[in-house]
Amino acid sequence: MNFRYPDLKYVRKSLHAYATDASEQTVEGNDYGGSNDQNSVGAHNAMLLDSEENPAIFYAARLSNGTRGLRVARFSNGGWQRHWIETGCDIGGIAAARSDTGVLGVAYHVIACDDADGDGIFDTHALRYADNASGNWLVQTVDDATRTGQHPSLAFDASGLPAIAYYQMQSYSGRELRDLYFARFYATPAEAEAPGGSEGEEPAYRTGWRTQNVAELGDVGLYNSLWFDPRQKAHISSYSSSAATIYLFEER
């Protein structure tokens, strides 16, 4: 009813009845007939189905009490259960995925965050990742270069480890990049052997995120889509605005 305070809606349709009207549900929004809350919810949303085929929706939110950040709503027991994943931040692009074991993950671009520890340093334009593998939402910073994390795409490999394709605009030093980047999480030294390493060599990457520049072909890294093939090699579809071209990148 008010474009400054949008609601998040959900509709589910039958596979063979797209033309049939379906009931619309409010996942979260405003009650203009009651408390007249002024919530702004639903921007940059990403949805997936959990292992029980119930929807889980990740979205940016700013509630009437001033709390803002990344929120998740899951449909359970006939209603929507809503939780904060991270607060105190303005959220940009969001990507979600589910592992083969049922873990839900979300990658998202942090535009700006509050100075949580009071040191005068504000976290801006960073790439974050969170999942519920432990039962709670654990947030990690994947890349916090000066301007990075836009247009994320998240996928899990066959081992259940996350990887993210994303856009990096600027380096720590302020140099313009506008490149396609790729980040992958390695869980153990055995799984973290660097590409091209010889058998028996000490792994170059241990537990944590490894990031790499995939392409710097003008302005590339927009509207990314990431997936793994049966060999567990990563593939990324990415748009270049400078070339007006969609590129497909394959991991060797």
User: What band does 1 get if pLDDT is binned at 50, 70 and 90?
Assistant: low
User: What band does 234 get if pLDDT is binned at 50, 70 and 90?
Assistant: very high
User: What band does 189 get if pLDDT is binned at 50, 70 and 90?
Assistant: low
pLDDT in tens, 87-112: 999 999 999 999 999 999 999 999 99
The whole-chain average pLDDT of the chain stands at: 89
Lowest mean pLDDT among 52-56, 90-94, 121-125: 121-125
| DSSP string across the chain | --TTSPPEEEE---TT-TTS---EEEEE---TTTT----EEEEEEEEEE-TTS-EEEEEEEE-TTS-EEEEEEEEETTEEEEEEEEESEEEEEEEEEE-TT--EEEEEEEEEE--TTSSS---EEEEEEEE-TTSS-EEEEEE--SEEEEEEEEEE-TTS-EEEEEEEEE-TT--EEEEEEEEEEE-SGGG-PPTTPPTTSPPS--SEEEEEEEE-SSSEEEEEEEEE-TT--EEEEEEETTTTEEEEEE--
> Residues 6-29: what's their mean pLDDT?
91
Task: Tell me the pTM.
Answer: 0.89
User: What band does 191 get if pLDDT is binned at 50, 70 and 90?
Assistant: very low
pLDDT surpassing 90 at residue 83? yes
> Residues 187-203: what's their mean pLDDT?
52
pLDDT value, residue 48: 97
